[in-house]
Chains A and B, each alone.
Chain A
Amino acid sequence: MWQFFHKLGSPKWFFGISTRFMPWLLMSGIVLLMAGVVWGLAFAPKDYLQGNSYRIIFIHVPTAFMAQSIYIMMASAALVTLVWRMKLADVFVKAVTPVGLVLTFLALFTGAVWGKPTWGTWWIWDARLTSMLILLFLYGGVIALDRAINDEKSAARAVAVLVLVGVVNIPIIKYSVEWWNTLHQPATFKLTEKPSMPAEMWVPLLLSVLGLYLIFGWLACVRMQTEILSREQRTRWVKEFVLKGKV
């Protein structure tokens, strides 16, 4: 088991294996996301209370879900960086932070657009919205800290500590709507119960979440490969790759 774990840490091995399944990630991701979004925006029934304006949920929930999911993945990678000093874990953190930043911004933005017609306000300082804004700043802070330190190894450690400290915010985002009074409604999807919407609404929502997950996987691979090539540019395998076009 440990051998496999250490093999996973080899940038060259990752480069080779990721190239093989990247097209599948992208293709299935696009198919699922398109299916989910088109179904949700055009064919799913409208809501009895909000009418058509609830349809932004098919964008809002996938982006918000991914924004938190990416942070959890980054925190796991940060743990690996700190304990096992694995280069690939740091490559992952560096590659996906901007993706998480953009998705968090989109979640906040679509939430504001949704909030205006339903709640009557673009923004309110309730616990859910505020903790999500903190997540946006955390992503920004991780990028800034990484850029601020020139030495690759010390940057990796500092970033890993910041990412791990910030992970405390994730359960706060998740449970903010249950622990405190908020304007934001509780989660529609729960792990233990049936979703509080009919199947013709939650199936497209689930499809778009899965689709976005797969597209994120593809994007993470692309960005990690770029980062690996730039970090390992002096090694022999990268020089051979540039000459021959394959590993």
Chain B
Amino acid sequence: MHPIRKKRLTIVLFLLVGLSVAVGLTTYALRQNINLFYDPSQISAGEAPVDVRIRAGGMVEEGSVVRDPESLKVEFMVTDYSASVPVEYVGILPDLFAEGQGIVAMGRLNNEGRFVADQVLAKHDENYMPPEVAGALEKASQAETKSAAENAKPATY
């Protein structure tokens, strides 16, 4: 390669590497601001500020959704399978909201460690499948837990 071109190439590569390092360090320093939400472990560890508008995200714990029969108030636990945070919300939930589904809630954490949400968004994962397949998978996992329970029985008496 021509020496002038070689020189230009090195300059451009240096520029790119330097720039990547700069941007990398900046985004690393700002990671808490770039993160859209706090997860339940961070909240229960006290990393999230109290009484400041923040977002909390995680999975809706199975069997934790309690609906108030008189109003639109809903209470549920948000979990990341290592810690859970109780959330309360008054309003209409998105269609995809269900137990075992991911959500991102916006609101304030109160002094008792409860998260009072004023907006709940549904988060879905990257897995797509036809309804029949999902049904079959669920059946299979139910059969598995059932047989696991049966297998476990003889050991308990």
Contacts and interface: CB of A to CB of B under 8 A. Distances in A.
Interface of A: 45-50, 54, 57, 79, 82-84, 117-121, 124-127, 164-165, 167-168, 172, 179-183, 185-188, 196-198, 200-201
Contacts of A118: 94-96, 122, 124
A77 B129 CA distance: 39
Given A167-B16, A168-B16, 18 more contacts: A46-B131, A47-B129, A48-B130, A49-B101, A57-B128, A79-B9, A79-B12, A120-B119, A121-B121, A127-B36, A164-B12, A168-B19, A179-B27, A180-B34, A186-B125, A196-B126, A196-B127, A198-B129
A185 B126 contact: yes
A127 B34 contact: yes
CB-based closest 6 A-B pairs:
A48-B134, A45-B130, A120-B94, A197-B128, A126-B36, A48-B131
A46 B130 contact: yes
22 contacts: A48-B130, A83-B8, A84-B5, A117-B95, A118-B95, A118-B96, A118-B122, A119-B96, A119-B124, A120-B122, A127-B34, A164-B16, A168-B16, A168-B19, A179-B27, A179-B31, A181-B35, A185-B124, A196-B126, A197-B128, A198-B133, A200-B130
A196 B128 contact: yes
Contacts of B123: 119, 183, 185
Given A79-B12, A118-B94, A48 B133 contact: yes
Nearest to A166: B19
B128 A201 contact: yes
Contact of B36 (A49, A120, A181, A200): A181
A96 to B, nearest CB: 20
Contacts of A164: 12, 15-16
Interface string B78-104: 000000000000000011100001001
B20 interface: yes
Contacts of A48: 129-131, 133-135
- In this complex, which of A124, A167, A180 has the most chain B Cβ atoms within 10 angstroms of its Cβ? A180
A120 B97 CA distance: 10
A168 B126 contact: no
A148 B96 CA distance: 47
Nearest to A188: B126
A186 B125 CA distance: 7
B126 A187 contact: yes
B107 interface: no
Contacts of B128: 47, 50, 54, 57, 188, 196-198, 201
A127 B96 CA distance: 22
B36 A198 contact: no
Nearest to A185: B126
A83 to B, nearest CB: 5
B39 A49 contact: no
- In this complex, which of A83, A164, A186, A201 has the most chain B Cβ atoms within 10 angstroms of its Cβ? A83
Given A48-B129, A181-B35, A185-B126, A83 B12 contact: yes
Contacts of B132: 45
